[in-house]
Amino acid sequence: MPDRFTMQDPRHQYPAPPFPRQPQSPPGIVGKMEPPPDHGEESYAGFGRLMGRKALITGGDSGIGRAAAIAFAREGADVAIGFLPSEIDDANEVIGYIERAGTKAVALPGDVSDEATCKRIVEEAVAQLGGLDILVVNAARQQARESVDAVSSADFDKTMKTNLYALHWLSQAAVPHLPPGASVINTASIQAYEPSAHLLDYATTKAGIVAYTKALAEQLIEKGIRVNAVAPGPFWTVLQPSGGQFPEKVETFGQNSAFGRPGQPVELAPIYVLLASQEGSYITGEVFGVTGGKGIA
């Protein structure tokens, strides 16, 4: 993996397309990706910014959630990760990285599109971590469809419940446990601002996440709790080859960014750390765009 602390041309810091066509069945397996994504396994170094904090991250087995989990642990936080039961192999790898960082790791399998599961995940995280200071709502469903006619009611319902309803259910369950100084971080997307035709339902949920984040931030600052969101552009995660993009689009994924490549999950980790830490003490109701130069408006 590249040395992230040596000054270098960011356009060439990580692999650029063309990539192999590599379709997977959702939710996908990290180990099958080519080139392998960098979640910070070897490249993220912590500096103690989250010592003693207790974090719950949904979708923590892969992609952005995996990068946040590794970074939080190396910054000193105990970390619980939510993931689908079928993602257990990827989740076990993340649990290992957290434990090797010297902090407590908790594995919480379950499908967040179910309300009872969201409540259970929060309660188990609180019980096993001994409290909760950071909630990262990150698990997402993204399935490319050719046209509005191809988005079935079942598709639409599953995407809404995974991406948007779960945000509400998790927030509802977590807020009573969050002390003043706690942080909620949601994962939005550039799709909230520049929706793609083939991601109709996904883009709709991401726009909803932006609105929900801003409204919840206004509520929770009265309790001393900050709420923010991160809006990534094209990032090289297992979401893409497992149906999030059409197979031919995976070959050129990220090519149209200003960098000519997709971002790597580890390149988002410092933003999540900032928003979780006391260094972000005056930041709430904000959406941080990390879009490879495309911006958000």
As a whole number of angstroms, the distance between CA 21 and CA 24 comes to 10
Is residue 112 a contact partner of residue 81, using CB atoms and an 8 Å limit? Answer: no
User: What does the DSSP 8-state code read for residue 234?
Assistant: S
Whole-number Å distance between alpha carbons of 109 and 153 = 26
Residue at token pair 């779960």: 166
| Signed CA dihedral, 248, 233, 135, 36: sign only | positive
Instruction: Quote the Cα angle for 104-108-113, to 5°.
Output: 145
Evaluate whether 253 touches 245 at the Cβ level (below 8 Å): yes
DSSP state letters, 104-129: -EEEEE--TTSHHHHHHHHHHHHHHH
Q: 59's torsion region: left (phi>0), alpha (psi -120 to 50) or beta?
A: left
Which run of H or E residues covers position 186?
A: strand 183-187
From first CA to last CA, the distance across the chain in angstroms is 33
Active site residue 202: yes
DSSP string of 187-211?
E--GGGTS--GGGHHHHHHHHHHHH
Catalytic residue among 14, 202, 212, 272: 202
Q: Which residues are catalytic?
A: 202
